[in-house]
Amino acid sequence: MKRREFVQKSALASAGVLAASPLMSAVAAEKVKEFGVQIYTVRDLISKDYEGTLKSLRKVGFDYCEAFGFGDGKLLGKSIKDAKKAFQDAKLPIRSIHASTGATTPKVSGTMNNDWQRAVDDAAELGAKYLVCPYLLPQERKNIDQYKRLAELMSKCGETSRKSNIQFLYHNHEFEFQELDGQIPYDIILKDTDPYWVKMELDIYWTRYADVDPIKLFRDHPQRFPLWHVKDMDLSEDRNMTEVGKGRIDWKQIFTHKNDAGLMSFFIEQDRNWAVDPVSSTATGLKHIKGLRF
């Protein structure tokens, strides 16, 4: 889709004109029949058994995944060629990849700050459709001007990615919603980036942790959130992570607004606090989401 067509269709969608579009409904309905997993959940296992861990995730029912550990021509410690074969053998396609800003690793290529084209080319070789900025180190987010510069950098990365039919996105934690220099950093990211070049991967857990309503974000910025991280929050005062379906987040309500968000893919994840082993933890979440009706 050309950029002009995208802007026109986004405007129509915001006005509700495309809400009942058969094509959009068909795409959304098809996507919830597929289920993704963020490989970070099994990071300890994959470091010991690369191929076996991928096959275990496929065996419990995941259809695709999101990877991390990307840069310098490698993915999770393997060359792009070897990593591609491992994921193909496991029949677990890589749909999205987290790619570092590289702000503190200037000698590493294939990052947002150093030879981004290499990241795009490697992602395309792996078959990925999305590249995501996953996290900002504390020294990268000391003031609001850093977020403004980040928005400029992400726009450049997004334009480069689009030329290879890869969409660029930003993944949030809780700190982007905390006031800094009198402004909300996430507002800067949304406002100072073109929605054609830069979209959002909304981490539902961290958004809720920051006491922000994901549904309001979907309504205020329609079609801006094609990717989600699906992980739950337990009932304790500490609001720790828990298996999807065992916490306080109403997933059926959130998925009801998938069309507002523009959801295309989502990844079940649990960063920490596994009650059981990581693969079983993701399987519990998968079973819960599969049992819902959207």
In a domain, 130, yes or no: yes
Q: What is the 3-state secondary structure (H, E, C) of 61-130?
A: CCCEEEECCEECCEECCEEHHHHHHHHHHCCCCEEEEECCCCCCCCCCCCECCECHHHHHHHHHHHCCCE
Q: Which residues contact 190 (CB under 8 A, 6 or more apart)?
A: 200, 221, 224
In a domain, 50, yes or no: yes
Q: Return d(Cα 166, Cα 221) in angstroms, integer.
A: 21
Q: Are 178 and 137 in contact (CB under 8 A)?
A: no
Torsion sign, CA atoms 7, 9, 12, 13: negative
In a domain, 16, yes or no: no
In a domain, 3, yes or no: no
Looking only at the bridges linking them, the beta strands covering 74-75 and 78-79 are antiparallel
Q: Which residues of 243-257 are buried (b: 16+ CB within 10 A; e: fewer)?
A: bbbbbebebeebbeb
Q: Return d(Cα 8, Cα 228) in angstroms, integer.
A: 24
Q: What is the pLDDT of residues 215-267, one digit of tens each?
A: 999 999 999 999 999 999 999 999 999 999 999 999 999 999 999 999 999 99
pLDDT band for position 272 (cuts 50, 70, 90): confident
Looking up residue 35, the CATH number of its domain turns out to be 3.20.20.150
Which domain range does residue 253 map to? 23-290
Closest CA to 60 of 31, 79, 35, 97: 35
In a domain, 78, yes or no: yes
In a domain, 8, yes or no: no
Q: Which residue has the tokens 């403004």?
A: 148
Q: Return d(Cα 88, Cα 28) in angstroms, integer.
A: 25
In a domain, 86, yes or no: yes
Quote the tokens at residue 161. Answer: 């990615």
Closest CA to 209 of 169, 252, 179, 249: 249
pLDDT band for position 294 (cuts 50, 70, 90): confident
pLDDT band for position 22 (cuts 50, 70, 90): very low
Average pLDDT, the chain: 90
pLDDT band for position 274 (cuts 50, 70, 90): low
In a domain, 113, yes or no: yes
Q: Which residues contact 12 (CB under 8 A, 6 or more apart)?
A: 18
Q: Return d(Cα 34, Cα 64) in angstroms, integer.
A: 8
Say which DSSP state 172 is in.
Answer: -
pLDDT score for 1: 47
What is the percent of the chain where pLDDT is above 70?
88
pLDDT band for position 17 (cuts 50, 70, 90): very low
Closest CA to 258 of 95, 1, 25: 25
Instruction: Specify the number of domains making up the chain.
Output: 1
Q: CA dihedral defined by 246, 252, 254, 258, rounded to 10 degrees? A: 130
pLDDT score for 32: 59
